[in-house]
Amino acid sequence: MDPTLWNLLHDGKIERIEGTLPGDVSVHVRIGYLRKGFPGAGTGFVVHLSDCSQLTFTPHDQPGISDFSDIAALRPWIVDCEPSNPIEVHCAEGTLTLRYDTAALSLDSGETITLSQLDAAATAYWDAWSARHKATRQTDQ
């Protein structure tokens, strides 16, 4: 499974998970700085997983959690992801393990977006961040 989507959501916090297993599941991810790259009000994105058959969060050195409300209560902070099947999203607090057929994206306000739009917004943000910090380092010298 492709980790690109989850890597673009780096720094996002999982706030809510809705749906049923097996079936379609929506993962609500709060990531305000990236959401500002899109029009309208909002603080995050929704990842729509079709035909999801596995969603478990395993906190470090603890047993896995499958209850969506319990996972969301921990507000896992997304760090990164590597290709695997099932996919493993590394979070600061543990690992989110997912198996699904396809993923689609929308803004938390409901508008559908593409992975390339999310990628462009992330690239623009991190390029601007790098430029700001480069300028700060130069004035500090």
How high is the pLDDT of residue 133?
79
Nearest-angstrom CA–CA distance, 85 and 98:
8
Q: Give pLDDT tens digits along the chain (141 positions).
A: 789 999 999 999 999 999 999 999 999 999 999 999 999 999 999 999 999 999 999 999 999 999 999 999 999 999 999 999 999 999 999 999 999 999 999 999 999 999 999 999 999 999 998 988 776 666 655
Q: What are phi and psi of 127, to 5 degrees?
A: -65, -45
Domain containing 10: what range? 4-140
How high is the pLDDT of residue 132?
86
Closest CA to 46 of 27, 66, 18, 33: 27
**Side chain identity at residue 3, one-letter code:** P
Q: In what order do the strands lie in the sheet with 13-19?
A: 13-19, 23-30, 44-52, 102-107, 112-113
| Domain count for the chain | 1
How high is the pLDDT of residue 138?
63
**Side chain identity at residue 96, one-letter code:** L
**Side chain identity at residue 1, one-letter code:** M
Nearest-angstrom CA–CA distance, 31 and 13:
7
- Asked if residues 13 and 29 have their Cβ atoms less than 8 Å apart, the reply is yes
- Asked if residues 43 and 109 have their Cβ atoms less than 8 Å apart, the reply is no
Half-sphere exposure of 125 (CA within 13 A, CB side): 18
Residue with tokens 């980790």, as numbered in its chain: 3
Nearest-angstrom CA–CA distance, 42 and 32:
8
